[in-house]
Amino acid sequence: MPTMLDVAKRAGVAVSTVSYALNGTRPISEETRQRIFVAMEELGYRPHALARGLASKRSRIIALLFPAPERGFGITELEFVTSGADAARENGYHLVLWSSEMHDPDELRQLTQQGLADGVVVMEVHLNDERINLLREIGFPFSMIGRCADTTGIGYVDIDFEQTVQEVVSYLSGLGHTHIAFLNQSQSAFDAGYGPVVRTHTGFEQVMQAPGLKGITRFCRAAPRAGYEAFNELLAECPNLTALVTMNERAIPGVMQAIADRDWCIPDDFSLVVIASSARMAEMMMPPLTTADAPTAEMGRLGAELLIQQLEGQGQSALQVLLPCRLVVRGSSGPRRRNPGAPGQ
């Protein structure tokens, strides 16, 4: 296996000059740099990433702070990770997943002080997020996939949840649905100020104030049984429901079972639309679900690129991006018809 000494001999320079070319700690001429890189290519030399990091005080590693959410990791969540890792690799970085829940900000402080990562991408962001407050305080490089309440000077990419909810409700009302329910994630996530849960809840309440529409909301744990129970509770409170919007993938099997137990058919008797989901998940169901597909791959990529641009000193201001979901009509939604359970129909 070739060594740095072999490269130095082939290029006709000192070993220290090869080191400077790799870690950029001292300027060298472009002609010398190119001669060193040609020698590396000819010899098949690959510098040790950790050694380069120690010399340059850069690890070229970024950490994705993605605490395992209450709902667990599924297909949609993993798309963030894989696309972020691809973007890091294409820019000469490595991405590591930090999935532990940080109950104490000092845990994050220790991570930033150990020099293992040059910066972090923060996910599962809350409106008042202690991790964001700490990173701002210590001046450690970071970006967000999601957003807190005060985003001044922070680069982020997030879903435009308000627009997404409005588009889905407009789609359903255009099919004649006037009584629509929204099944959100858990009450505890809402109480903790988890951004997507709060924004979708607010957005649904606002859009359902339109004349002729009646909305009802429920929070629900991320479990099929919880979805089953929540759907029955919604119908008990509002028997005229003909459509349900949800942002709770794990509850969907329970919702669909509750519909089937009433001898209803989707979408003939009831319509179901899932927001901030993925096409892969939707197409696994029967019937395939109508979804507002989340741009997970684009968000994972942008979150990593925003951080890397910051680390490389590119761009003068923090880029803030809101992306819409894409409504994809499949087999779980259709025109409003007679609801078999509604009185007087």
Strand ranges inside the chain, DSSP E: 61-65, 94-98, 119-122, 142-145, 156-159, 179-183, 214-218, 243-246, 271-277, 290-293, 320-323, 326-328
4-55 CATH choice from 1.10.3720.10, 1.25.40.10, 1.10.260.40, 3.20.10.10: 1.10.260.40
Average pLDDT over residues 305-322: 83
With beta carbons less than 8 A apart as the criterion, state whether 198 and 262 touch.
no
Q: Rounded CA gap, 201 and 185, in Å?
A: 10
Domain boundaries, the chain: 4-55, 61-159+296-324, 161-294
Q: Rounded CA gap, 33 and 30, in Å?
A: 5
Residue-level pLDDT at 147: 95
- What CATH number should be reported for the domain whose range is 61-159+296-324? 3.40.50.2300
- Residue 160 carries which DSSP code? -
More confident: 68 or 134:
134
Q: Is 161-294 in the same CATH topology as 61-159+296-324?
A: yes
- pLDDT, one tens digit per residue, over 196-241 is 999 999 999 999 999 999 999 999 999 999 999 999 999 999 999 9
CATH class of 161-294: alpha beta
**pLDDT range class, residue 261, cuts 50, 70, 90:** very high
- pLDDT, one tens digit per residue, over 262-283 is 999 999 999 999 998 877 888 8
Residue-level pLDDT at 316: 58
- pLDDT, one tens digit per residue, over 149-204 is 999 999 999 999 999 999 999 999 999 999 999 999 999 999 999 999 999 999 99
Residue-level pLDDT at 343: 43
